[in-house]
Amino acid sequence: MVGRRWWTPWLWLAPALALLGVFLVYPVVDTCRRSFLDERSKNFVGFDNYRFIIENPQPLVSDTHSALLNNVMWLTLFTVITVCLGLTLAVLTGRVRYEAVAKSAIFIPMAISFVAASVIWRFMYEFNTDIGTVNATVTSLGGEPTAWLQDTGAPLTALTDRGPDTLPRPIQINNLALVLVGVWMWTGFAMVVLSAGLKGISTEVLEAARVDGANEWQIFRRIIVPILSPTIVVVATTLVIQGLKKFDLVWVMTGGRFKTDVVATLFYKEAFRIGDFGVGAALAVVLLLWVLPVMVIGIRRFQFQEETR
Amino acid sequence: MFHSKRSYLLLILFAIVAFTGLAFVACGDDEEEGPQIGTVDVLGIWGDEELVSFEAMVDPWELDTGGSMAFTGTRDITTVLTTRVEGGNPPDVAIPAEVGRFQQFAGEGKLTPLSACEGLEETVKANYPQGFIDLGTVDGTLYGFFMKADTKGTIWYNPGFFADNGYEPLTVDSTFDDLVALSDQILADGTPPWSIGVESGEASGWPGTDWIQQILLNEAGGDVYDGVIDGSIPFTDSRVKDAWEKFGDIALTEGYTVQEGAEGINATNFVDATYPPFESPPEAAVVYLGGFASSFITDQFPDAVAGEDFDFFPFPGGGVTGGANIVYAFNDDETTCSFLNDLASAEAQRIWVDRGGFTSVNSQVSLDSYPDPVSRAQAEQLAGAELFRFDLDDAIGGALQLAFFDGVTQYLANPDNLDSILTGIEASR
């Protein structure tokens, strides 16, 4: 072989590296830099922008505390509900005759653009019962219509009966409504991946358990879930990242109003709507630092699986 | 070997061609903007009907000069404009509704003074009201002019319904108490007097700010109004608080709104809220929203006749607030200047006036140009107002504007927290 020089692999990597550099590395570095500058990125202000996030001085226009808490809510509630629902559906659809049809029906929302899905659900949640399917259903059953996307209330409990302040109540009705749309969109993904893992479990193991007298719940709890756990972790990691960087759904449905802001919508609003690039960049950095460990865990897990395969 | 060497060569050749091609395209762009009229890149907010009318208004300019307009319309104009200016790629001309960002750009020296275009500053100074000239002036230099104005002193009602029930439309001399009295009278007859909706996605709450600014101007006067804009009077001032409470008197009194109170008002889109008074039978008696509401009504009820099926009476108190689209430019090349001169001219504006949905502030556009009595009355109200002020939240802009919006939705949901809400708004200044 002639011509295989040390730079040959780099030459082939160059286009990808150039794109990564321009569209990923440079923006990340520049965002970090701007997070220490003032709103027009002119003067150095130290940690002022991060102090803004912690002290939350403008709770009406950019409620940083509420955004951070909402992100926590998204990454827990959204992930837990979607994984549980996906797993249940994977097990159940595996046992019906029209498996393909059932799975397709559940997977279809994944094929819709998220913005389109958000617009659809805006209509579903509409307050006017002539338009909003959800409220029409509620009222036909004798209930009162609810402003699903505007209601910041929560079922009254000792925890929630604090009245409005800079911190949102743990679970607001409108946040829950948004999370359910996210679940609707992502359950299909969780179900398909978990179902594939499920198919990989050898029937001998399950049969052996049945011979030993295990009931179906024990088989699910003690055999299926442990064997599936690597797949569950992969699905959960993907969903956690989705939950953390949620933007489209919130922006289209509420614009982050009525205390539904998440970090992604708030940094966009701060930087581009209000024009404060400092706080916007600081929020983006917070989000980045938050997503990083999750991604590292995900990649580690993936490498580990590749090695053991 | 030989084969792979040839592919290297090909790759390099391809790279060279691609780069020179790019450079060529870039150069070509520069060369096109020579002395004659080229393409003007315009960023605005219009779509649908309004865009068709705007294009009709620009058509004669394109025919006369051989130029063309590349228009981008977005509701998210502040965001798009900020991004493009920050990225060093501003449009030639921007036509937003908010002046807060305009003042910022002008202060940073990013805008072209109107005097840089031949004849433009003279046209504007000769034909536009002083109030609008002042608004377009930053640090003594005129940077922008206003072309499409909207009065926000209009309370829309159904004349047939009013006549059938013997209700009298209010006049310029009426007071806020008369408005409450009328509401009570209508309520006593069994119809919810008001239809109010403030939902507007990310900007939810702005229709409520129109209420508050209109009440503030009428009750507290122009000086207080200006003080709130320039910061010498905080939102926590008792006169401002009084305006909020008067808004609450209408929006939150039981039975006053067809939306049945705060939750419905916050959840009802401002466009949908204009329909109930004009349904048959009417579900509400009146709706307060700016002059642009007439187009929502005629879109929903295509057979509705202006002046017969829908009409407006002035918001009681005599003062009038209003919004307008400001036009400003980021460069002074010949195409841009020629385009601006056209937009500022009465001839061009008459085209849109004639098509409907456009109120001009150019004094050369006579009242006869308006196609129906309702749009003429709007123009009259704007031109003849004894006390006129530019839309309060559009004048302040930025974070304070968004806080004002959020304050409205929070006030409706929790009226008892008004004091802390006003403190919160002021904290965003």
- Per-residue pLDDT tens for B66-80? 999 999 998 888 888
| Angle made by CA atoms A269, A274, A280, in degrees to the nearest 5 | 55
According to the model, what pLDDT value does residue A274 have?
86
| A152 contacts on B by Cβ (under 8 Å) | 413
| Angle made by CA atoms A109, A110, A116, in degrees to the nearest 5 | 65
Q: How far, in Å, CA of A239 to CA of A187, rounded?
A: 10
Q: How far, in Å, CA of B146 to CA of B328, rounded?
A: 9
Cα within 13 Å of Cα(B187), Cβ side: 17
Return the HEC string of chain B. CHHHHHHHHHHHHHHHHHHHHHHHHHHHHHHHCCCCCCEEEEEECCCHHHHHHHHHHHHHHHHHHCCEEEEEECCCHHHHHHHHHHCCCCCCEEECCCCHHHHHHHHCCCCCCHHHCCCHHHHHHHHCCHHHHHHCEECCEECEEEEEEEECCEEEECHHHHHHHCCCCCCCCCCHHHHHHHHHHHHHCCCCCECCCCECHHHCCHHHHHHHHHHHHHHHCHHHHHHHHHCCCCCCCHHHHHHHHHHHHHHCCCCCECCCCHHHHHHCECCHHHCHHHCCCCCCCEEECCCCHHHHHHHHCCCCCECCCEEEEECCCCEEEEEEEEEEECCCCHHHHHHHHHHHCHHHHHHHHHHCCCECCCCCCCHHHCCCHHHHHHHHHHHHCCEEEECHHHHHCHHHHHHHHHHHHHHHHCHHHHHHHHHHHHHCC
Question: Per-residue pLDDT for B32 more than 90?
Answer: no
Domain boundaries, chain B: 36-151+323-382, 154-321+391-427
The verdict on B81 touching A (C-beta cutoff 8 Å) is no
A190 exposed, middle or buried (CB, 10 Å; 0-12, 13-18, 19+)? buried
According to the model, what pLDDT value does residue A158 have?
47
Q: How far, in Å, CA of B334 to CA of B340, rounded?
A: 10
- Per-residue pLDDT tens for A88-128? 999 898 888 888 899 999 999 988 888 999 999 999 999 98
Question: Nearest residue on chain A to B410, judged by CA atoms?
Answer: A258
Mutate to test the interface with B, among A26, A30, A150, A250 (most CBs of B within 10 A): A150
User: What number does CATH give the domain B36-151+323-382?
Assistant: 3.40.190.10
The residues on A that touch B, with CB distances below 8 Å, are 1-3, 40, 57-62, 126-128, 146-147, 149-152, 163-164, 251, 254-258, 268-269, 271-277
Question: Per-residue pLDDT for B20 more than 60?
Answer: no
pLDDT bucket at A170, cuts 50 / 70 / 90: low
According to the model, what pLDDT value does residue B15 have?
57
Contact A3 B1 (CB under 8 A): yes
- Per-residue pLDDT tens for A126-143? 998 888 999 999 899 988
Pairing of strands B387-390, B319-329: parallel
pLDDT bucket at A40, cuts 50 / 70 / 90: confident
Question: Per-residue pLDDT for B178 more than 90?
Answer: yes
Contact A275 B104 (CB under 8 A): yes
Q: How far, in Å, CA of B200 to CA of B161, rounded?
A: 28
Task: Give the residue-averaged pLDDT of B18-28.
Answer: 47
Question: Nearest residue on chain A to B108, judged by CA atoms?
Answer: A40
* Minimal CA separation from A240 to chain B, in Å: 25
| B236 contacts on A by Cβ (under 8 Å) | none
Nearest to A61 among B201, B272, B399 (CB): B399
Question: Per-residue pLDDT for A6 more than 70?
Answer: yes
pTM of the model: 0.85
The verdict on B267 touching A (C-beta cutoff 8 Å) is yes
Contact B413 A128 (CB under 8 A): no
Which of A167-176, B238-247, B377-386 is most confident?
Answer: B238-247
According to the model, what pLDDT value does residue B116 have?
92
CATH 3.40.50.300 is right for the domain spanning B154-321+391-427: no
Beta bridge partners of B320: B388
Contact A257 B201 (CB under 8 A): yes
| B268 contacts on A by Cβ (under 8 Å) | 127-128
pLDDT bucket at B161, cuts 50 / 70 / 90: very high
According to the model, what pLDDT value does residue B31 have?
42
Contact A60 B78 (CB under 8 A): no
- Per-residue pLDDT tens for A140-154? 998 888 888 888 876
Q: In the β-sheet with B286-288, what is the strand arrangement from edge to edge? A: B286-288, B154-157, B311-314
Task: Give the residue-averaged pLDDT of B100-114.
Answer: 90
According to the model, what pLDDT value does residue B392 have?
92
Q: Answer yes or no: same fold for B36-151+323-382 and B154-321+391-427.
A: yes
According to the model, what pLDDT value does residue A161 have?
47
Q: How far, in Å, CA of B345 to CA of B46, rounded?
A: 20
* Minimal CA separation from A271 to chain B, in Å: 9
| B82 contacts on A by Cβ (under 8 Å) | 271-273, 275
Nearest to A60 among B1, B4, B424 (CB): B424
According to the model, what pLDDT value does residue A163 have?
44
According to the model, what pLDDT value does residue A80 have?
95
Domains of chain A, earliest start first: 45-54+61-157+168-308 (1.10.3720.10)
According to the model, what pLDDT value does residue A230 have?
87
List B residues 268-287 in contact with A (Cβ-Cβ < 8 A).
268, 272
In chain B, pLDDT over 70 holds for what percent of residues? 92
